[in-house]
């Protein structure tokens, strides 16, 4: 981008025996121009593929089932970037059925899912705002390892990234006194239609800026990646929350962090924009492919039930399948409660679905058995 300035370091007086420098980014609510034609081509490709994904999602029956799986995948992957280790299968296992060493990570991912769902639902009535982001952040950190780092509150102390202390940190975000101005500017940037800037470009710039501001003591990466989806929904580029970039960013984690750093150090926004747009294209294509596979698998299961299940059990089997599409790992008791049937009936129903190879028993136990919709989970894995 021509004449783009990322910001500069400023010395902060601490009142103690030493001072330190924090990065003060330039405000972003301003017009932008670029000369790199590759950005235009990548923007066109990304916009086209994102539009195809959105259209595909709108035309899909039972899209809510598949969105729940997308959210689970995003939660596990975005959390993985921050060091949390929970796979998508474990998301749907009850906490008490996990080994103790897995439970803390599981809780963090569950919080992320709750935070995403809350923010997405709030967008139906409220515009994207720092207030909404704080609500999501409060849920993200409540009751987990970050609960002592002021969930839902903009930080009032200095943080840093990398290193053992502020003196050897890889990056020191803005001083707390600078945050109100920077966050107000970011919010204005989201809603300034007079800029006439393509929404995907605005999304990329706002993600960079949020990560640079680092307004919370913890959880900035996960919230910053969530903002990508929230913004695209807010400006009606997406009608359904089906684009999540964390898988692409995790696959290219080193480059992801390098390019964000490069913007600050070299004022080089162009390379970040190209990387981001490539991510949107790649993720949109994979999203369509994943959703198509899920639709095909559901159709195959429906056909199998129609052919192999007696008329008396057909309706109940399809109700069980519908539940499994939104919660693909269940116990007999869960299915019994969900469908309002007796425990023995639910037990027989799952046994019948296992014989059809629709579900697979995963505990090997005689009691408290768990079944999973194996092929369905693998599609989203």
Q: Give the 3-state DSSP-derived string for 248-275, with helices as H, strands as E and coil as C.
A: HHHHCHHHHHHHHHHHHHHCCHHHHHHH
CA 3, CA 338: separation in Å to the nearest integer? 59
> Which range marks the domain in which residue 358 is found?
309-380
CA 65, CA 23: separation in Å to the nearest integer? 43
Contacts of 226-230 with CB under 8 Å at 24 or more apart are: 226/78, 226/115, 226/116, 226/119, 226/136, 227/128, 227/133, 228/203, 229/74, 229/116, 229/120, 230/119, 230/120, 230/123, 230/128, 230/132
Residues 275 and 327 in one domain: no
Lowest-confidence region among 61-65, 100-104, 135-139? 61-65
pLDDT at 163: 87
- What value does the mean pLDDT take over residues 70-95? 86
Query: Which pLDDT band holds residue 98 (cuts at 50, 70, 90)?
Result: confident
CA 307, CA 26: separation in Å to the nearest integer? 64
Choosing from 290, 322, 347, the residue where a domain stops is 290
pLDDT at 82: 83
Tokens 């309002």 belong to residue? 340
Residue 28 lies in a domain: no
C-alpha to C-alpha distances, 380 to 77, 103, 128, 302, 377, nearest whole angstrom: 11, 22, 28, 19, 5
pLDDT at 281: 98
Query: Which pLDDT band holds residue 15 (cuts at 50, 70, 90)?
Result: low
CA 191, CA 41: separation in Å to the nearest integer? 25
C-alpha angle 329-122-63 in degrees, rounded to nearest 5: 40
Query: Which pLDDT band holds residue 267 (cuts at 50, 70, 90)?
Result: very high
Residue 5 lies in a domain: no
Dump pLDDT digits (tens) for 155-164: 999 999 988 8
Residue 146 lies in a domain: yes
Query: Which pLDDT band holds residue 36 (cuts at 50, 70, 90)?
Result: very high
Q: Are 182 and 22 in contact (CB under 8 A)?
A: no
Q: With H, G, I as helix, E, B as strand and everything else as coil, classify residue 22.
A: strand
pLDDT at 221: 93
pLDDT of residue 264 exceeding 60, the answer is yes
pLDDT of residue 312 exceeding 90, the answer is no
Lowest-confidence region among 61-70, 128-137, 309-318? 61-70
Query: Which pLDDT band holds residue 16 (cuts at 50, 70, 90)?
Result: low
Residue 262 lies in a domain: yes
- What value does the mean pLDDT take over residues 319-328? 92
- What value does the mean pLDDT take over residues 75-99? 85
Average pLDDT over all residues of the chain = 92
pLDDT at 133: 96
> The domain that contains 284 carries what CATH number?
1.10.3290.10
Residue 277 lies in a domain: yes
Residue 295 lies in a domain: no
pLDDT of residue 28 exceeding 80, the answer is yes
Continuous H helices in the chain: 37-59, 63-81, 88-91, 103-122, 130-141, 179-191, 199-213, 220-234, 246-251, 253-266, 269-308, 311-326, 332-339, 343-355, 374-380
pLDDT of residue 317 exceeding 90, the answer is yes
Query: Which pLDDT band holds residue 211 (cuts at 50, 70, 90)?
Result: very high
Residues 218 and 366 in one domain: no
The tally of domains found in the chain comes to 2
Residues 276 and 321 in one domain: no
| Burial call 344-381: b when 16+ CB within 10 Å, e when fewer | ebbbebbebbeeeebbeeeeeeeeebbbbbebbbebbe
Query: Which pLDDT band holds residue 153 (cuts at 50, 70, 90)?
Result: very high
Residues 158 and 207 in one domain: yes
pLDDT at 173: 96
* Residue 197: partners with Cβ closer than 8 Å, 6 or more residues away: 31, 32
Q: With H, G, I as helix, E, B as strand and everything else as coil, classify residue 371.
A: strand
Query: Which pLDDT band holds residue 376 (cuts at 50, 70, 90)?
Result: very high
pLDDT at 19: 83
Dump pLDDT digits (tens) for 352-361: 999 999 999 9
Percent of the chain scoring above 90 in pLDDT = 72
pLDDT at 85: 79
CA 65, CA 372: separation in Å to the nearest integer? 15
Question: What is the phi/psi pair of residue 105, to 5°?
Answer: -65, -40
Structure tokens at 232: 């695209």
DSSP state of 291: H
> The domain that contains 339 carries what CATH number?
1.10.10.10
Residues forming a β-bridge with 11: 21
What's the pTM? 0.92
Residues 137 and 77 in one domain: yes
- What value does the mean pLDDT take over residues 295-319? 92
For residue 217, how far is the Cα from the chain centroid?
19
C-alpha to C-alpha distances, 29 to 3, 39, 130, 186, nearest whole angstrom: 14, 20, 15, 7
Residue 7 lies in a domain: no
For residue 310, how far is the Cα from the chain centroid?
41
Report the candidate in 230, 263, 226 with the shortest Cα–Cα distance to residue 246: 226
- What value does the mean pLDDT take over residues 43-48? 98
pLDDT at 14: 66
pLDDT of residue 17 exceeding 80, the answer is no
């Amino acid at each position: 981008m021509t004449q783009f300035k990322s910001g500069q370091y400023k010395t902060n007086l601490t009142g103690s025996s030493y001072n330190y420098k924090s990065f003060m980014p330039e405000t972003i609510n301003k017009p932008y121009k670029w000369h790199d034609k590759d950005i235009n081509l990548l923007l066109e490709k990304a916009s086209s593929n994102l539009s195809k994904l959105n259209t595909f999602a709108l035309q899909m029956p039972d899209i809510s089932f598949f969105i729940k799986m997308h959210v689970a995948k995003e939660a596990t992957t975005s959390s993985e970037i921050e060091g949390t280790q929970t796979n998508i299968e474990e998301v749907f296992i009850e906490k008490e059925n996990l080994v103790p060493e897995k439970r803390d990570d599981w809780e963090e991912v569950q919080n992320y899912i709750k935070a995403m769902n809350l923010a997405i639902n709030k967008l139906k009535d409220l515009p994207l705002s720092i207030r909404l982001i704080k609500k999501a952040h409060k849920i993200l950190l409540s009751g987990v390892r970050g609960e002592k780092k002021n969930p839902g509150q903009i930080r009032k102390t200095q943080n840093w990234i990398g290193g053992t202390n502020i003196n050897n940190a890889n990056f020191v975000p803005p001083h707390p006194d600078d945050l109100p101005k920077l966050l107000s500017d970011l919010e204005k940037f989201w809603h300034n239609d007079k800029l006439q800037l393509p929404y995907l470009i605005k999304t990329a710039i706002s993600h960079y800026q949020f990560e640079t501001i680092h307004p919370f003591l913890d959880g900035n990466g996960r919230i910053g990646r969530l903002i990508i989806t929230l913004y695209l929904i807010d400006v009606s580029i997406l009608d359904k929350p089906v684009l999540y970039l964390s898988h692409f960013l995790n696959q290219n984690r080193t480059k992801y962090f390098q390019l964000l750093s490069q913007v600050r150090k070299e004022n080089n926004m162009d390379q970040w924009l190209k990387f981001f747009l490539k991510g949107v294209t790649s993720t949109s294509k994979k999203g369509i492919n994943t959703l198509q596979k899920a639709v095909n698998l559901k159709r195959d299961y429906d056909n199998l039930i129609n052919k192999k299940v007696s008329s008396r059990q057909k309706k109940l089997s399809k109700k069980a399948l519908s539940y499994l599409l939104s919660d693909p790992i269940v116990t007999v008791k869960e299915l019994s409660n969900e469908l309002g049937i007796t425990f023995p009936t639910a037990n027989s129903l799952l046994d019948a679905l296992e014989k059809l190879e629709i579900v697979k028993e995963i505990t090997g136990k005689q009691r408290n058995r768990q079944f999973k919709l194996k092929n369905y989970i693998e599609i989203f894995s």
